[in-house]
Structure 1
Amino acid sequence: MERLNWGMIGGGEGSQIGPAHRLGAGLDGAFIFAAGALDHRPSAGRAYGQTLGLTPDRSYGDWREMLEGERGRADAVDLVTVATPNATHFEITKAFLEGGFHVLCEKPMTMTVEEGEEIVKLSQSTGKICAVNYGYTGYSLVRHMRAMVSRGDLGHVRVVVAEFAHGHHADATDADNPRVRWRYDPAQAGVSAQFADCGIHAMHMASFVVGQDIERLSADTVSCIKSRVLEDDAMVNFRMSGGTVGRLWTSSIAIGRQHGLTLQVFGEKGGLRWSQEQPNQLYHMPIGKRLQVIERGEGGLSPEADRTSRVTVGHAEGMPLAFANIYKDLAEAIHARKNGRDIDPAADLYPRAEDGLRSMAAVFAVAQSGQSEGQWVDARPPMFR
């Protein structure tokens, strides 16, 4: 297939997420890194972009300059990734969708539900893809979990248990560190800290695997470090559209946990367990039988898993390759639209603007419930009620 042009906003030198996106976008040869506005400091962004191979005329000083520069080009970028600070996502994503570009936005897609609804409507009216980087759903065995649930291997799913807990913000003496403090400041982070940062990854993965949306929830939120305004630990109970019961714990003060994103699914006929820190193994317990360990890359898996596995069984695949699978999906989706054909069903799994909107509605629902001593609240965006 013809290679697509890709551009990036944010993700400059020293960025946590920028290298993962560049590795992911370039891994399969589907995208050429063609343009970027990589830093809020124009001169630094231009210089760094050129060290990565961008030509001087396409290493832009800011996103507005990039929008104007790309809009008139015959070889304009086909996809733009937005990897800037959270509060800027809405404005940049909106501008590029209106400019006729497909967009992959880092989460959270917006800072409010109203902004999220506007992005969903804009994506629909322009016919442009707006994807959201819930990148962990790109893992091969997460997609195999989804396929197993969808084809009925577990029967009706009764309970899903999700966790995303780490201990990297557990030191109270670190509370004034600017790299930590902003996350718990409502002026910069919004209405939620830990749930908005990590919990929505776990909640989205639960919906992705089970194939159901979150309808209502009850939350217990707490600031274990008392100087924090926003929560550093949350327990969320939720109910899903197909009747499944959900439990979710997320924390930033769980000393000893590193990147504890895990998912367990319990159905009538069996259970599944997967952990992001050991992503090559999926544990399947069929009812009345012995525990089975499913290995990434082994024979006989689903098309969704086979399509997203690159190296032979027994070799580790990590987070940048999970990101690469989101980009692989998007390349297939863009080519399908260009050529007027249906997308490969095994690739039609990238998170949409609708997912970003549902996540933002859940963030506000958790904040509301947490402030109301766990009152059950509607977690759906108004446009989906």
Structure 2
Amino acid sequence: MTKLNWGMIGGGAGSQIGPTHRISAGLDGHFLLCAGAFDIDPDRGKAFAGSLGVSADRAYGDWREMLAAESARDDRLDLVTIATPNATHYEISRAFLEAGFNVLCEKPLTMTANEAREIVEITKESGKVCAVNYGYSGYPLVRQMRAMIANGDLGKIRLIKAEFAHGFHADAEEADNPRVRWRYDPAQAGTSAVFADAGIHAFHMACFVSGQTPTELSADFASLVGDRQLEDDAMINFHFNGGAVCRLWTSAVAVGRMHGLTLQVFGEKGGLSWQQQHPEQLHWTPLNGRTQILERGDSDLSEQAVRASRIPIGHAEGMPVAFANIYMDLADVLNAQRTGAKPDPMALDFPQAEDGYWSMRAIEAAASSAKANGAWTKL
């Protein structure tokens, strides 16, 4: 298989997410890092590109220079990953999509629902792929949950309980740390802080595994540390279009909680429970039966879970491998695009622009509901 040409914007030296993308994209050998604009400082970005083995003629000072140069190349990029600050996602994604590039954008896709809707429309018009990195949906046992629910193993879904709660912003003395403060500044973060940053992953997971979308929500936002303008704790109730009720808690002040991403789904015939800090196991309890532990790597799991597993049972996989499943899906779709073939249907599970749009609608509706003392708000 010919490797796909891949480029990055952002994710340079000191980035939290950049190394994960590079590990994940390279894991299966589908992508070759050919180009990048890695830093807001042009010289620093070019030097970092060189350290990664990117040739000097494809080490760019900024994304505009990268767009102009790559658009003129015969060996242009097959995929561009955008890992820049949130407020830049819309402008960069739009520009590359309109120029005919496929895009994988870090979440949030945009800062507003209107911007996200524009990206969805541009994606459809261009015929290109726009993926959003809700990378936790790449975990094999999350895909097992989705497959079991779609197969009817749980019967009608009644209740979903989703959490993403940590305590890393609980120290009042750290409230003015620039790495923390921006998250609670509406000018930089938008209308929501912890729900838009962390809770939105739990929201996407609830939609992803259940196959349902929300029709209305009621939100309670709280700012519990200092004089933060945006929430550092939130509880949100959703009504889904398939009849399920979802209870979502997200927090940045839950001292003692580390990552805290968990998902439980309860149906007429049984329940499922998964924790991102223990991703190798999925707890399955049939109605009136005993709880069973499904292990990642078991041969009798769903095709989706087997496809997403790389190493034998008993050897732990992790977040980069979950992200790698998003890149594997994209490689399948882009190679099919290149050859005119149809991609594996299981490759179409990657989060797309529509997921980014739903997320922004949920964020804006939750912020509006919270301001109205939890009034039920239509999406």
Please classify the TM superposition score into its range, dividing by the shorter chain length. Answer: over 0.9
Distance in 2 separating the partners of 1:226 and 1:22: 37
Q: Count residues in correspondence.
A: 379
1:364 pairs with 2:364? yes
Distance in 2 separating the partners of 1:345 and 1:145: 17
Distance in 2 separating the partners of 1:187 and 1:3: 40
For the Cα contact (< 8 Å) 2:175–2:226, is it kept in 1? no
Give the match for residue 8 of structure 2: 8
Distance in 2 separating the partners of 1:302 and 1:343: 19
Counterparts in 2 of 1:1-385, with a 5 A limit? 1-379=1-379
1:137-181 deviations in Å (ceiling 9; x for gaps) = 000000010000000010000000000000000011111111101
Note the C-alpha offset of 1:11. 0.1
1:208-245 deviations in Å (ceiling 9; x for gaps) = 00001111100010001141010000000001111110
- In the alignment, residue 313 of structure 1 is paired with which amino acid? I
- In the alignment, residue 252 of structure 2 is paired with which amino acid? S
Distance in 2 separating the partners of 1:85 and 1:344: 33
Note the C-alpha offset of 1:292. 0.4
Note the C-alpha offset of 1:26. 0.5
Aligned residue for 1:15, secondary structure, equals coil
Distance in 2 separating the partners of 1:340 and 1:377: 43
Distance in 1 separating the partners of 2:222 and 2:290: 40
Aligned residue for 1:279, secondary structure, equals coil
Distance in 1 separating the partners of 2:152 and 2:168: 38
Aligned residue for 2:279, secondary structure, equals strand
Aligned residue for 1:278, secondary structure, equals coil
Distance in 2 separating the partners of 1:315 and 1:215: 40
Aligned residue for 2:12, secondary structure, equals coil
Q: Runs of 4 or more off by more than 2 Å in structure 1? A: none
TM-score (norm 1): 0.98
For the Cα contact (< 8 Å) 1:304–1:347, is it kept in 2? no
For the Cα contact (< 8 Å) 2:10–2:18, is it kept in 1? yes
For the Cα contact (< 8 Å) 2:132–2:351, is it kept in 1? yes
Aligned residue for 1:274, secondary structure, equals strand
Identical-pair percentage: 61
1:281-323 deviations in Å (ceiling 9; x for gaps) = 0000011111100000011111111111000001111001100
Note the C-alpha offset of 1:341. 2.1
- In the alignment, residue 250 of structure 1 is paired with which amino acid? T
Aligned residue for 2:280, secondary structure, equals strand
Note the C-alpha offset of 1:193. 0.3
Aligned residue for 1:49, secondary structure, equals helix
- In the alignment, residue 342 of structure 2 is paired with which amino acid? D
Distance in 1 separating the partners of 2:161 and 2:234: 14
- In the alignment, residue 346 of structure 1 is paired with which amino acid? M
- In the alignment, residue 62 of structure 2 is paired with which amino acid? D
1:17-68 deviations in Å (ceiling 9; x for gaps) = 0000000100000000111000000000000001001000011110011111
Deviates more, 1:42-51 or 1:298-307: 298-307
TM-score (norm 2): 0.99
Give the match for residue 382 of structure 1: none
Distance in 2 separating the partners of 1:100 and 1:236: 38
Distance in 2 separating the partners of 1:10 and 1:235: 32
Give the match for residue 383 of structure 1: none
- In the alignment, residue 82 of structure 1 is paired with which amino acid? I
Aligned residue for 2:35, secondary structure, equals strand
Note the C-alpha offset of 1:2. 1.7
Note the C-alpha offset of 1:3. 1.1
For the Cα contact (< 8 Å) 2:220–2:236, is it kept in 1? yes
- In the alignment, residue 300 of structure 2 is paired with which amino acid? G
Deviates more, 1:82-91 or 1:70-79: 70-79
